[in-house]
Amino acid sequence: MNFIKGLQTEFHKIVWPKPAEAFGLAVIVIIVALIIGYYLGALDALFATILRAIIG
């Protein structure tokens, strides 16, 4: 039972982000994911082209 009371106490200490802050951070995550995806896609296309040139 002490675990549950301690859990409740710690849960009340959490500072949740404001909706605007959460939205801003979500936008940043999406933008970074798109940039990384584009970069990896470009590398994949480059390596595929190189392999096609080598293999024939």
State how far Cα 14 lies from the chain centre: 22
Domain ranges of the chain: 17-55
- The more confidently predicted of residues 1 and 49 is 49
What pTM was computed for the model?
Answer: 0.68
CB-based contact 20:12 (threshold 8 Å): no
Can you give the length of the chain in residues?
56
> Which pLDDT tens digit goes with each residue over 13-35?
999 999 999 999 999 999 999 99
In whole numbers, what is the pLDDT of the chain averaged over residues?
A: 95
Average pLDDT, stretch 38-53? 97
